[in-house]
Structure formats: C-alpha cells, structure tokens
Chain A
C-alpha cells in the first residue's frame, strides 16, 4: 500500500530558529496536506497544496508540492513556543479516492 516517509521524526531546536521537514512517497498524490496536532486534540489543518510545484504560505509557515508529485516540504520560520507539537503530512489521490495517507509525524520541541 501507499506509504509516506516523513523526516525528521523529531526535532529539538532553539526558539527563533527555522524548521524544515519533508515527506516523500513512492506513489503520486494529487493533494498534499500538512496538519499539526497538539496533545489531547485532533489534527488541525495548516496548509493544503493542490498543484505540482505550488508554494503556499500561512503566516510563518511555507509548504511546497513537489514537481514529481511524490514529495512535499514544510518550513517554519522564526519558531516560537506555541509551534511545539506533532506535524503530519498527508497525501490524497483525489478524483473520487478521498482517503488520506499520513506520514509518521515530526515531533517538534523548542527550547526557550
């Protein structure tokens, strides 16, 4: 079945640093999504990408849909304490196949 490889699995950074994480797949996806999950809550959508090559920003977050449709990355600039959490990428085939395939998650810890 389809699998997403998300890296890194965990990050320990200083407040103010930039963060970069990525997802790769052996399969093509037509939609890439990035979610953040805080303890005790469900995943919250950060960015949705629908076109190969698309670069989209949401505040300090920037994500790109890879040209090959098999990868995506998420960058966070100037990290702040509330950025702590687990970040998940998810791929969706679309066009009637709406199921999401999730990456393993990147756990972000920030030292003040």
Chain B
C-alpha cells in the first residue's frame, strides 16, 4: 500500500511567520496534490504540484500565499506564508501513482496559528 509521509505532523506558529510542510512518497508518482481541511470541514484542493514546473493553483489560492515545490517524483513541499489565525487547518498531501489510480493521502499537518 502507499506510504506518504508528512512533516511536521503538527505545529503551533505565531502569526506573520511561515511554515514549510514536507511530503515524501515511497516511490515515484505521476501526480502530487495539496489539500486544506478546515476544522470540521471537508477537503479542498489547494494546488497540483507539478514536477519541474510551477504548481497549478485552484481558485482562491495563490502562489504568494502557498508556494509549492516539487523537485522530483517523490517529494513536494507546501509553504504557508505570512500566517494568520484563519490559516489554522489540516494540510494534506496526496499522491497518484498512475493515470487511472486513485489518490492516497498522508496523515496531514495540523497547523494552529496564535
């Protein structure tokens, strides 16, 4: 089964600071994604992390706020920039192992901003 590791698993941050979340997959994958899950809510796609090129962002999410890197086929990072209390959420990484394969998720990063 898929092994998707996220670091950190949780953090408490001061407003105005930035945090980078790492996602490591156990084997090469075609696609990686970043989702946000606000407290008690469902998952919303932030962006698709493209290997070797800029991420593709969904409506309502911008690169300046959520810069994403994907330097290779097994690793991606999401930075939450200039954080405010409204950014307190679970941030989840997912990976798709092939074109017709379902997405699998990491355990998420629980972020609280004071």
A interface residues with partner B (beta carbon < 8 Å):
1, 31, 33, 35, 40-45, 48, 50, 88, 94, 98-100, 102-105
Partner pick for A43 among B31, B33, B105, B110, CB 8 A cutoff:
B105
7 of the cross-chain contacts (CB-CB < 8 Å) are A33-B102, A41-B108, A43-B43, A43-B105, A99-B58, A100-B45, A105-B42
A23 to nearest B CB, angstroms?
11
Chain B residues contacting A1 (CB-CB under 8 Å) are 59
Total count of chain B residues near the partner, CB < 8 A: 23
Main SS at interface, chain A: strand
Interface residues of B (CB under 8 A from A): 4, 31, 33, 41-45, 48, 58-59, 92, 94, 96, 100, 102-108, 110
- Kindly state the separation between the CA atoms of A1 and B44 in the bound complex, as whole angstroms: 12
Cβ B102 vs Cβ A45 within 8 A: yes
**Interfacial chain B residues near A35, Cβ < 8 Å:** 105
A88 to B92, CA, bound (A): 15
